[in-house]
Amino acid sequence: MYKVLLAEDEQLDLEGLLRFIPWEELEMEVAAAVNSGFAALEVLGRESIDVLVTDIRMPNMSGLELARQAIALRPELKVVFVSGYADFQYAKQAIDMNACSYVLKPVDDDELAQALRTAAETLNRERFGASLEQTFRQSAPYMKDELLGRLLEGKAEGGPALSLLEPYGLDRIPFPAAVALFEFDDLDWKRSLYREEEPPDKVRQWCSALLGIFGSKGIDYCCTTEGDRIAVIISESDPASELENMITEIKADTRLSVTAGLGETASGLDEVHRSYVQAAEALACKMFYGKGRLIGPADRRPGIVRDAKELGDILSGLFEAMSHYDLVRLDDSIAELFALAKSFGTKTSIYHFVLHAIAKLDDYLLGFNENFYKLTGTEFRSMELLFYFETAEDMQSWLRRKVFEISEKLHAKKMKKNRRLIEEIKRYVADHLDRSITVRDAANLFSFAPNYLGHLFKEETGINFSDYVITQRLEKAKLLLQDPKMKVYEVADRVGYRSLPYFSRHFKEVFGMTPGEYRRRC
pLDDT tens figures, 39-90: 999 999 999 999 999 998 888 898 889 998 999 998 899 999 888 765 556 6
Query: Over pLDDT 90: what percentage of the chain?
Result: 29
Least confident residue range of 153-157, 188-192, 285-289: 188-192
* Single-letter amino acid code for the residue at 277: V
* 305 contacts 283 by C-beta, under 8 angstroms: no
Q: What is the CATH number of domain 173-300?
A: 3.30.70.270
User: Kind of pairing, strands 51-55 and 28-34?
Assistant: unpaired
* 362 contacts 372 by C-beta, under 8 angstroms: yes
CA pair distance 212, 224, nearest whole angstrom: 12
Stretch (H or E) spanning 87: none
Q: Which residues, 6+ apart, have CB-to-CB distance to 483 below 8 Å?
A: none
Q: Which residues, 6+ apart, have CB-to-CB distance to 96 below 8 Å?
A: none
User: Closest by alpha carbon to 361, among 350, 372, 373, 375?
Assistant: 372
Peptide bond into 200 cis (omega under 30): no
Same-fold call for 2-128 versus 173-300:
no
Q: pLDDT, tens digit, for every residue of 354-365?
A: 888 888 888 888
User: Kind of pairing, strands 258-262 and 294-295?
Assistant: parallel
Checking 108-113 for CB contacts under 8 A at 24+ apart, the result is: 109/20, 109/21, 112/17, 112/21, 112/53, 112/80, 112/82, 113/21, 113/22, 113/26
Confidence of residue 191 (pLDDT cuts 50, 70, 90): low
CA pair distance 169, 157, nearest whole angstrom: 16
Q: What's residue 205's pLDDT?
A: 85
Superfamily the domain 434-521 falls into: Homeodomain-like (1.10.10.60)
Q: Is 390 helix (H, G, I), strand (E, B) or coil?
A: coil
Q: Most distant CA pair in the chain: distance in Å?
A: 107
Q: What's residue 264's pLDDT?
A: 94
| Class of the domain covering 2-128 | alpha beta
Residue ranges per structural domain of the chain: 2-128, 173-300, 305-417, 434-521
CA pair distance 258, 255, nearest whole angstrom: 10
* 1 contacts 23 by C-beta, under 8 angstroms: no
How does 327-345 read in b/e, with b if 16+ C-beta sit within 10 Å?
eeebeebbebbbebbeebe
Q: pLDDT, tens digit, for every residue of 434-484?
A: 988 999 999 888 888 888 888 888 888 889 999 999 999 999 999 999 988
Assess whether pLDDT exceeds 50 at residue 287: yes
Q: pLDDT, tens digit, for every residue of 124-135?
A: 888 877 766 665
